[in-house]
Structure 1
Amino acid sequence: MNWDAHLRLRHVRTFLEIARAESVSIAADRINITQPAVSRSLKELEEMLGTQLFDRVGRGLRLNEAGRVFQAHASASMVELMRGRDRLAKDGDLTTRLSIGVLPTAATNLLPRAALTFREEMPHVRLHILTGPNWLLFNQLRDGILDLVVGRMPEKDAATGVTFQQLYIEDVVLVCRPGHSILSKRTPEDHIAEHTLILPPGGAVISQTVERYLASIGLPEMRGAFETVALPVGRKIVGNSDALWFISRGVVADELAARSLVAVELASPLLSGPVGISIARSAPINVERSVFAECLQRGV
């Protein structure tokens, strides 16, 4: 079958919907056409490409290696087409909204930089930025209330139905006020239990990371006198006491640079983890979301 003469936008759109849903019937419902029409479009596309794009797994379909290669190019092409459509259609009014959930580690520097870049590229889009506990943001992402979430990679339970794209690796730091006695210790890990701790609450993404670290140094039952990942609260308590605070480095980056807070030297890979973009597997193609993801990548 001749590619130039027969390829249509419906072939690409149908393929992308099947890839997301891993099901012909679900894809048909999403794009509001019949299942036979979906199957026919896929068959025609595979004939044009000269290769199968999916393997059958039970009653579903799963992308094979050729399908994954084609998906990368097809997704990029659709995004560019939609971006061109939007640039021609918009007259400068704020007529579109992109809803973003941001976890504390990305809220201080990464997301504000990306938001300003995005505003220059897509001035017609209003950014709706929400903060909140990990469980709430990822539930809203799966429910379609949020278009993407920016922050630490979710733990296994929260990651159901979500894809994650890593931007960078970030560590959790133990911070204190300048001049704190623990800064002079050769092995500060041995003195953590002597001080009041501020720990992330149970719903925070870094909670289990900190718990694993404390267990690794012999403090599996250690509990914090305070629980927060909120910068104004933690900064004030630490700055006015001998309390120690486990928090993502990105949350306190400005304070560490200004030396109003100091990071205690802890050598442990257990405190490092990926930060990136989370998107619901069922989310349809969205040009605004794709452009914002590009802005985040450029801001790293």
Structure 2
Amino acid sequence: MIGSRVKYRHLQTFVEVARQGSVVKAADHLNISQPAVTKTIRELEEVLGVVLFEREGRGIRITRPGEVFLRHAAASLTALRQGIDSVSQELLDNVPPVRIGALPTVSTRIMPRAMALFLEEQTRSRIKIVTGENSVLLEQLRMGELDLVVGRLAAPEKMTGFSFEHLYSEKVLFVVRAGHPLLAGGSVFNGLGDYPVLMPTRGSIIRPFVEQFLIANGVAALPTQVETVSDAFGRAFVRSSDAIWIISSGVVAGDIADGVLAALPIDTSETKGPVGLTLRTDAPPSLPLSILMQTIRQAASETMIAG
């Protein structure tokens, strides 16, 4: 039987190559040699009788049969990991971990309060919270590496297999240090090109909103740009320079309230986008995850009322 010939290493290697889009990167992540990865993929293709990857320029791309198999392979690995977690945690008199992906704005503004509320429930669950770009977090969710993503609503073509629950909407701000020259008055858009601008990276969910907004307001290009999704770097750099930071409002709400940073007088309401909970439709939430989702809802509601 074909099923008995497909091993765990086949599935693990295949899913990692698909996730990385590269044999070399997959080999590095799995800590095995590149020839070993190639051999494993060829073995799997021979068992299945289909080609899973094709060369595309210097890289590779997954084939249509590969995409079909990926859904099942990723689900199988997720189920196996959950089974291992369930058994090992039961032996430790504990429950499986809850793995959350959150945008920097959510990690700063919502998750601290949500976690405080969750810990009050005394579920004894282990929680793992990771922060990153929306697209990266959604891919990890699709692969079963995360149980929930709290972030912006992605484009429709990126939401296949996902469900989204709206929590609140958030806009982008142009933020500077207190006392910045552009706060003194005058045309802000005419002055943007005179200073370094911290832009969201091209893979970030808010980048298209920012680019459209700038073009609509007559800013075709910015001479000095630094792309970053690091809120720690952005905060430190803007506080110590005349740079302008284009960032989601939630990331800097506390800094603005404290008077350390200030938003430039620009109406950015058209950059508003929905923020909420994204789940896989084929993976019902566990009880601990359901409780955490409820505390996230409560924290978001409290934050919006306070804001």
**TM-score, with length taken from structure 1:** 0.66
Q: Does 1:158 align with 2:136?
A: no
* Partner Cα distance (1:244, 1:110) in 2: 24
After TM superposition, the structure 1 = structure 2 runs for residues 49-198 of structure 1, keeping only pairs within 5 Å, are 93-198=93-198
CA distance in 2, matches of 1:159, 1:101: 16
Alpha-carbon distance between aligned partners in 1 of 2:162 and 2:224, rounded to the nearest angstrom: 31
**Displacement after TM superposition at 1:285 (Å):** 4.0
Structure 2, unmatched stretches of 5+, are 1-89, 301-307
Counterpart residue identity of residue 95, structure 1: V
The 1-side partners of 2:156 and 2:223 are apart by 23
- Map of 2:6 onto structure 1: none
Maintained 8 Å contact 1:105/1:152: no
Cα 1:105–1:158 shift into 2, 3 Å: farther
User: 2: distance between equivalents of 1:180 and 1:105?
Assistant: 23
- Contact 2:167–2:297, Cα closer than 8 Å, also in 1: yes
Note the C-alpha offset of 1:161: 2.1
Aligned length: 213
SS at match of 2:273: strand
**SS of the residue 2:135 aligns to:** helix
Give the match for residue 239 of structure 1.
239
One-letter amino acid of the counterpart of residue 259, structure 2: R
Determine the structure 1 residue equivalent to 2:86: none
One-letter identity of the residue aligned with 2:202: G
Structure exhibiting the larger radius of gyration computed from Cα positions: 1
Work out the CA distance in 2 between the residues paired with 1:93 and 1:185: 62
The 10-residue stretch of structure 1 (115-124 or 255-264) with the greater mean CA deviation from structure 2: 115-124
- What corresponds to 1:290 in structure 2? 290
Letter in 2 for 1:283: A
Deviations 1:111-152 (A, max 9, x none): 111112112214321111111222221011112211100122
Question: Cα distance 1:126–1:257, how it changes in 2: closer, same or farther (>3 A)?
Answer: same
Structure 1 residue ranges (4+ consecutive) displaced by more than 6 angstroms after TM superposition: none
Unaligned stretches of 5+ in structure 1? 1-89
C-alpha offsets along residues 84-131 of structure 1, whole Å, 9 cap, x if unaligned? xxxxxx999433211000111100120111112112214321111111
CA separation in 1, counterparts of 2:144 and 2:245?
A: 34
Partner SS state of residue 108, structure 1: helix
The question of whether the paired residues in 2 share the 8 Å contact of 1:92 and 1:124 is answered with no
> Deviation of residue 157 (structure 1)?
4.1
CA RMSD, 1 decimal = 2.3
- C-alpha distance 223-150 of structure 1, shift in aligned 2 (>3 A): farther
Per mean C-alpha deviation after superposition, the further-off stretch among 283-292 and 258-267 is 283-292
> Measured at CA, do residues 95 and 182 of structure 1 come closer, stay the same or move farther in structure 2, by a change above 3 Å?
same
2:211 aligns with: 211
Q: Percent of aligned pairs with the same residue?
A: 36
SS state at 2:158 partner: coil
Please report the TM-score for the alignment, with normalisation by the length of structure 2: 0.64
Q: Is the 8 A contact 2:166 2:274 kept in 1?
A: yes
Work out whether residues 133 and 229 of structure 2, in 8 Å CA contact, stay in contact via their aligned partners in 1: no
Question: Do the aligned partners of 1:176 and 1:262 also contact (CA within 8 Å) in 2?
Answer: yes
Distance verdict in 2 for CA 1:205–1:272, change over 3 Å: same
Residues 224 and 120 (structure 1), Cα distance of their counterparts in 2 relative to 1, 3 Å cut: farther
Q: Is the 8 A contact 1:144 1:283 kept in 2?
A: no
Structure 2 SS opposite 1:235: helix
Matched residues in 1 for 2:229 and 2:223: separation? 15
Counterpart code for 2:121: E
